[in-house]
Amino acid sequence: MSKVLVTIFYVLAIIAVDVSTVLVQATDMSTVPVQSQQGGGNIWPWHKTTVSAINNLGDGVNLFMHCRSKNDDLGLRMISNGNYMQWSFKENFSLTTLFWCNLRWISGSTTSVKSFQIFKAKRDNQKCVAKCLRSIRPDGVYFYDEFKNIWWKEYAWW
């Protein structure tokens, strides 16, 4: 009987990992609506998560953003100020889902190149459930905590 349970668990784990379909879209909106959730953290690790990265670098500053995970490459996107890049995925069973992004923008005569982890399951599941909001600003990357309804600076630019 225990071999059957182990086999079932193994099949479910494979299914959870394989359904990490990623959808990417660029949207001409300056704000992303936030729906507050009750509680703190995800009970089911294979729920659908949506990450939105908003360009708040300032008027006329285009953000070039290339995000990826171990299994998915979202491609290079150009996001104008006030707009955002958004994608959805299912977290893996072991809560090791990780997306990172490389950024580049030109402000005046200065070209900035940065890199950061935009989503890390074990870190972010206590602050966002279904919608994880990120704001790219001149001084760093801000994350939104949907339970406390606050933005905080997760990454500071040096």
pLDDT band per the 50, 70, 90 thresholds, residue 27: very low
Q: Where are the domains of the chain?
A: 2-30+43-156
Reply yes or no on whether the pLDDT at 40 is more than 50. Answer: no
Across the chain, mean pLDDT equals 79
Q: Cα angle at 24 between 101 and 111, to 5 degrees? A: 35
Once rounded to an integer, what is the mean pLDDT over residues 12-34?
A: 37
State the greatest distance between any 2 C-alpha atoms of the chain, in Å, as a whole number: 68
Structure pTM?
0.71
Once rounded to an integer, what is the mean pLDDT over residues 113-141?
A: 94
Q: What is the pLDDT of residues 91-121, one digit of tens each?
A: 888 889 999 999 999 999 999 999 999 999 9
The rounded distance, in Å, linking the Cα atoms of 46 and 126 is 15
Sheet holding 73-79: strands in order across?
73-79, 63-69, 98-107, 110-120
105 in Cβ contact with 63 (< 8 Å)? yes
Q: What is the pLDDT of residues 47-70, one digit of tens each?
A: 789 999 999 999 999 999 999 999
